[in-house]
Structure 1
Amino acid sequence: MFKRIALFLATNLAVLILLGIVMSVLQNVFGIRLGNNGGILVMAAVFGFGGSLISLLMSKWIAKRTTGAYVIEQPRNETEQWLVATVRRQAEAAGIGMPEVAIYDAPEINAFATGANRNSALVAVSTGLMRAMSRDEAEAVLAHEVSHVANGDMVTMALIQGVLNTFVLFAARIVGGWIDAMLGGQRESRGPGIFYFVVVMVLDVVFGLIASMIAMAFSRYREFRADAGGAQLAGRHKMIAALQRLSQTYGQSTLPNQVQAFGISGAVGHGFSRLMRSHPPLEERIEALRNAPEQRPSGVVMR
């Protein structure tokens, strides 16, 4: 558990530090002084949003490449026909374009959705899910993923990450400049000292950790919302049954880090480790559905 948390943190913080180093170099190249907050903010926004938006635009391609997912273009058997027909029916009810439907080879029960456009997304299920779940349970899982697409969760997550990255890059340089000025005296005409760059790298890590906690808090919230959407599309009893099946058979996810937050299940922790998890505990998700008002399966467009 802690190894996976450390890997997640190291990956995200390494990206932020790399962006910070490149930004600091360009800051000197273009002669943007520490006192020019507007210039620093513009550069922070370009770098902060640039990476998250590029990842969003490439998300379907990355997901297919990293999972080896097979996109069903012409169903080869009854199972594939059922998958495509179910996703089409749910997409129409949710008011979105028909997603690509794919299967990827993995032993665990899992599925994910991704894509930069709610009318051109990808919904994929694992071979383990198709073997272990009943049709009703699989229908609920598909409804959960279609709800992610209908809610625009992929785009919202990318925008939130862009805002947080911008905050980290900007705040680290403003606070770093203030600390450098306090400890090093007036160097504005000569530019920042070496201590400034050390402080900024430390602040990138600290602020990046806080930003990751905020991003994961939103990720956990959207799982509850997708469960509610799945219950509306497929029926609450089916959604609860699917989550109960996941809780009985949950194992370590083999999804790549790039799409792990978009799977229906993900590792959960307690205490501090829970703050860095993309998914809430399955028992909390089941309890939330049980306490929600009863809704009939939806034929109404979701907004």
Structure 2
Amino acid sequence: MRSLFVFLLILLLSFFAYNAYTYHQLSSAEGTYKLAGISNSEKLIAVYHDKDCWQFATYNPKTQELKVYYISQNSPLFFRTRKTKTVETQLNYSPLTLDLKLLEKVPEGTPSLLFAGKWYTEQNPPNFPTVEQILKQYDNKTIRRIAILYAKKELWIKTYLHVDSRAYEIGTEDVLVIPSLSNKPSFIPVIEIPNGEHTSILAVYYSDVTITGSGKTFYHGSFKLNGQLIEAILNVSTHHLTNNTSFAKIESYCFFPNAGLNWVSVEKYFKGISMKERLPTWHLNRKTEDTPLKCNKQET
């Protein structure tokens, strides 16, 4: 009986010692990065830090995989939480590769974001290009799809709205959405231009950097962007987000015979929400409408 008690005591002390160690590691970006167990073949491209939690986004140029790691531990009394999300991407994220020495320079305040070689906070948020500024570059040009993406907190990829037995994409699956860290919502524009019948060229406009790629598309047909659609997109981005919105996508692509405009927003936030693969309908606001723009079938 005594030996059993000693064994249980050692087990309990080991539990607390291990949890205290991992909790201490989470106090620094370098320590948490080691706990995440990230492979050397993956290049770190973004870091998000909030109270008791970290996210690391990586890109593997050989496999073209985009991955987000989530590490959290609320107390030394509890085990840490570790989650990952992985998606193949047609975008080349290599230009965003970070120097790991930047992990030593985490700001004191949270939330904070490391992206494109700089640390950002709510007092010094990323300087995104305006949606109007980007869309006007494509005025009167042939477009396959436009999406503008917003995240209030956390790093987002690959999230779906769950409706009964079906799932609808909330974000743009293989695009990394970084948080705006600002009370004034800032969006990440994604432009898809036809490059043949079944392929497209993509451009994602982040703060201070543009990421590009090409490959197969799920969207067929195209339309000419004009001022009317630009105004409609700007109107939705201005009037359809609330203080409760944690993520949003406003998107336009062909619903034959016309181009459609749809938006979906996540109207709830809890720590780690971005790591959910699917969200229930009651967390979301979703709407679709037609536009006067006529779709053209893309020629081979």
TM above 0.5, one fold?
Answer: no
User: TM bucket by the smaller chain?
Assistant: under 0.3
Hey, which of these two has a bigger chunk of strand by percent?
A: 2
TM-score (norm 1): 0.25
